Structure 1
């Protein structure tokens, strides 16, 4: 991975390894790096040059798709946007996201993420009278309310960082509740009442403890914590007949 005229630095990666029928283990790999070498660059180099059995998931490599989300040095990160040089001295620990079923090594099954979205009715349901191209003006207050919540890329980092997801399997998780917030604020959606019956249940909004770990790790700088707080405020107003 060296570049002409640049002296490479050897960095050790401590990588989580597991395959069906095998025991979990940590394997060490030394990789030659330069200043802008990312965690993903190093993992791909390991796979190509040292251990072709290493399984990992990635796609765009430019911080757009979220496929390479994993836990690096104890924190959820984009592997493709995390430079090894930014992590300080010492070995770099790499493991898969928490709270997802393991498929192999650094690859997790994202099915529970999709299931959590479905559980809160995360699909848009148009009203019967809605025009074919109903619009919400970009400069409107309605759009401003959800602007900071609509750019979720489904990477799963917030779910991995959420302690309540580990405690309560029925808890929808921050990404699903963030999505629900955008729909509950959308006047074109016809499923508000049905969605509220889910959101105010014991395993949804009341379960969030507001620790904010989901917001801390979001690579898109969204705040699921804020979305959950706004949903709670809306639920109270609805309960007392103010909306």
Structure 2
């Protein structure tokens, strides 16, 4: 059985490791990260040319099963995967780690997009915070690809990403190149050192990046949380690599 795993997430790598002893596994990475962590098995890097190109690749390479293990916010590739799987008549499973859930002490502002997150920044009363800038200081952890949505914002931004971002971006920006997993102590120190007023993040649900939420809760820093897009209609989901592997291998053996 030939299984195509879409995505370079930690869950995708774990899934490749679980499936590799039992099937031929090809992992497809988008190629947006300069030095990605590679999974076991075969690896291809780069796009397919949309849903039609992905469907052709599935047919040409004898793929029996596709697993969409991309980032929860990789909406375009998830849509293309659903369309391609339907054209190629192969089963598709979406691996989606659970989203974050607020707990007591959290101050979350729920928004639906990067643009809504940027607009939400004007709703905070920066001036009443002792020793803080009247414009506000924002810790932005939404990735380097969506900074254009914040380009016209007057606030100061600390942008953390794996690779260096490119313009357009906010005029008052400091870039921090780093890759998780992060620790609560490290995130606590970062919020304090940069005098952060608000955290803006996506609901990726990743354990490796969750410590920033605990640090924000402790410091009383509000969080602008961007909701994740839904999985394409009709696509089955699994919440963990173990669940996804069990489903795929169970069906293969039946």
TM-score with structure 2 setting the length: 0.23
Select the structure that is richer in strand: 2
Between 1 and 2, higher relative CO (CA 8 Å, sep ≥ 6) is seen in: 2
Instruction: Provide the TM-score with structure 1 as the length reference.
Output: 0.23
Greater radius of gyration (CA): 1
